[in-house]
Amino acid sequence: MFGFWSDTGQIYMAGSVLDSDPLLCRLCTWHYIYVAVVESEEWESGSIFSFPHVEMATPEGHEANGNERNSGADDPDRARLRELGYKQELKRGLSVVSNFAFSFAIISVLTGVTTTYNTGLRYGGPASATLGWVVVTAMNGCIALAMAEICSAYPTSGGLYYWSARLTGEDWAPLASWMTGWFNIVGQWAGTTSVDFSLAQLLQVIILLSTGGANGGGYLASKYMVLGFHGGILLLHGMINSLPVTWLSIFGQIGALWNMLGVFAFVILIPIVATEKASFKFVFTHFNTDNGEGIHNKLYIFVLGLLMSQYSMAGYDASAHMTEETKNADRSGSIGIITAVSLSSIFGWAYLIAITFAVTNIPYLLDSNNDAGGYAIAEIFYLIFKERYGSGAGGIVCLGVVAVAIFFCGVSLVTSNSRMAYAFSRDGAMPFSAVWYSVNKQEVPVNAVWLSVVLAFCMALTSLGSSVAFQAMASISTIVPYIAYTLPVFFKVTLGRKSFVRGPFHLGRYSAAVGWTAVLWVAMITVFFSLPVAYPITKDNFNYTPVAIGGVLFCTLFSWFWSGRYWFKGPIKNIH
């Protein structure tokens, strides 16, 4: 019986079935001798065994370099990262709670639900919003479980694109990681643009209501002012993300706590303050077909209404991108993903139900002539306080609470963006990779941080020109991230179904079923959200989602065949 140590940290065995006696394997690779004691009841020819804990000894006459001597080489996180081909360069100071907090703050149900509630009301109304949330979060649970299983096996900052490379084999790894990486990072940049621009627009509404509202001579900030708000917000996010990771951990945890407390407060406050409340039947069964968009088929309307819930649940890949800075990464990253999605599902549904109980006149809430200019949730908050106390000031304060939640969401988004850009540059996939793949004395990828900030601002410049261009950019943040989420899952259940070696967290016999459910769901919503949103179709109501997705796909493939295929070989080991 002979074995050899692969670069994945696995021993590939060849030979006949052995008995249950322990086997001591001494395996030499490069500069180290790995000593592993393995006990197994039955070893079959061609089976693969994973060794999570390996003793490393320095051969005689070979002295480890200073970095390795002083870097805690016996630390299991560092050891696992070495097995995956990378040395520890980022500061590993995050706990499982901090890892979870980044994803929870990015999902930020206060952000997603507040900014897209108009879509839910217009397409299906209360039933589409409340029941659609259950459907979407169940499907996102499958995506999260499938991602968590892979994250446990490959805990690196590269996340999705690294997973794709490892799951497709040597021949397909470069193209698979190229496609996944670019879809992931472009989707993240667009997501940051979308979230921070949403905050700028909410500030516009807060100022409008604070100065009298649309019907009371209130001040409506121009599109240039909104872009200025957006730039200022991004500047603050860049400055915060230039701080050490211990500070970012604090911001992430505050953001998660703020979202939780905000939802708690609103769930209690809205029923108390609202003088008129919708019935239980209205909240869960009323289906709005009066959308003014020429669409009357209920199933079609319901499908379009799912966009609110699907958009609200994006961003949980952040836990994967933070694993190189998280302790016990092969467990903590998976826990972070699953917990963030689970709690967001619960808190989001509670917020949705509370808000929807205050809905009594859907056409009025969507009317651009109301006090909030057609911003439904802003009008709800403003109206319930005004009807109860004669002033909408309390509603403006509530909007301020939401604005802070969106701000924290943006902070964590830039954090996730920068780690993805850092990892992708480490593998040479981005232009000027050497610039973005660098860390400062505090072990922060500060160049990647500011790259993310600048690109998010540049994407928002489209708002000054063609509305078509801005809609196309915004569409990227809706579907492209989910495509990136499920590409490695698809590769796992197809090309990697036999070679994948699970980590501490795994789905056992349900792995394939959960994976295929996730893949099929994303395929379905890609089609759903590419459908026309109004009839007859005009240049002003055209759904640019398929154009945006096609544009990202075309650019990614064109750059691959024109250039990338000649030099990009997938993830590059930086341990020599």
Give the pLDDT confidence score for residue 190 in this predicted structure: 92
Position 356 pLDDT exceeds 60: yes
Q: How many CA atoms lie within 13 A of 462 on its CB side?
A: 17
Asked whether 312 and 112 are in contact (CB, 8 A), the reply is yes
Position 10 pLDDT exceeds 50: no
Position 404 pLDDT exceeds 90: yes
Q: Residues 207-236, buried b or exposed e (16+ Cβ, 10 A)? A: bbbeeebbeeebeebeeeebbebbbebbeb
Tell me how far apart the alpha carbons of residues 220 and 197 are, in angstroms, rounded to a whole number.
16
Give the pLDDT confidence score for residue 467 in this predicted structure: 63
Instruction: Indicate the helix (H) or strand (E) that contains 237.
Output: helix 223-241
pTM: 0.82
Q: Which of the pair, 324 or 292, is modelled with greater confidence?
A: 324
Position 7 pLDDT exceeds 50: no
Give the pLDDT confidence score for residue 6 in this predicted structure: 36
Position 53 pLDDT exceeds 90: no
Give the pLDDT confidence score for residue 67 in this predicted structure: 40
pLDDT band at 29 (very low <50, low <70, confident <90, very high): very low
Least confident segment among 61-65, 302-306, 315-319: 61-65
* φ, ψ at 470 (rounded to 5°): -70, -40
Give mean pLDDT, residues 142-149. 96
Q: Which of the pair, 89 or 383, is modelled with greater confidence?
A: 383
Position 9 pLDDT exceeds 60: no
Give mean pLDDT, residues 315-343. 92
Asked whether 549 and 475 are in contact (CB, 8 A), the reply is yes
Give the pLDDT confidence score for residue 469 in this predicted structure: 66
Position 68 pLDDT exceeds 60: no
Least confident segment among 46-60, 113-127, 260-274, 399-413: 46-60
Q: How many CA atoms lie within 13 A of 351 on its CB side?
A: 29
Our CA angle for 283, 309, 552, nearest 5°, is 155
Give mean pLDDT, residues 72-85. 78
* Long-range pairs of 424-428 with CB within 8 A, sequence gap ≥ 24: 424/158, 424/161, 424/181, 424/185, 426/86, 426/158, 426/572, 426/574, 427/158, 427/177, 427/568, 427/570, 427/571, 427/572, 428/567, 428/568, 428/572
Give the pLDDT confidence score for residue 87 in this predicted structure: 85
* pLDDT 10s digits, 191-205: 999 999 999 999 999
pLDDT band at 146 (very low <50, low <70, confident <90, very high): very high
pLDDT band at 513 (very low <50, low <70, confident <90, very high): very high
Position 48 pLDDT exceeds 70: no
Residue 320: name the closest of 484, 137, 179 by CA: 484
Q: Which of the pair, 235 or 2, is modelled with greater confidence?
A: 235
Position 172 pLDDT exceeds 80: yes
Give the pLDDT confidence score for residue 291 in this predicted structure: 76
pLDDT band at 468 (very low <50, low <70, confident <90, very high): low
Give the pLDDT confidence score for residue 464 in this predicted structure: 84
Q: Which of the pair, 377 or 4, is modelled with greater confidence?
A: 377
Give the pLDDT confidence score for residue 66 in this predicted structure: 38
Sign, Cα dihedral of 468, 472, 473, 477: positive
Task: Sketch out the chain's domains with CATH numbers.
Answer: 2-81 (no CATH), 106-565 (1.20.1740.10)
Give mean pLDDT, residues 149-166. 90
Give mean pLDDT, residues 117-144. 94
Position 38 pLDDT exceeds 80: no
Q: Which amino acid is at 16?
A: S
Range among 2-16, 245-259, 481-495 with highest mean pLDDT value:
481-495
Least confident segment among 14-28, 98-112, 296-310, 443-457: 14-28
pLDDT band at 463 (very low <50, low <70, confident <90, very high): confident
pLDDT above 90 as % of the chain:
61
Tell me how far apart the alpha carbons of residues 425 and 437 are, in angstroms, rounded to a whole number.
5
Position 24 pLDDT exceeds 90: no
Position 58 pLDDT exceeds 60: no
Q: Residues 39-75, buried b or exposed e (16+ Cβ, 10 A)? A: eeeebeeeeeeebeebeeeeeeeeeeeeebeebebee
Give the pLDDT confidence score for residue 74 in this predicted structure: 57
Give mean pLDDT, residues 163-188. 92
Tell me how far apart the alpha carbons of residues 148 and 100 are, in angstroms, rounded to a whole number.
12
* pLDDT 10s digits, 516-556: 999 999 999 999 999 998 889 888 788 888 988 999 999 99
Least confident segment among 66-70, 180-184, 194-198: 66-70
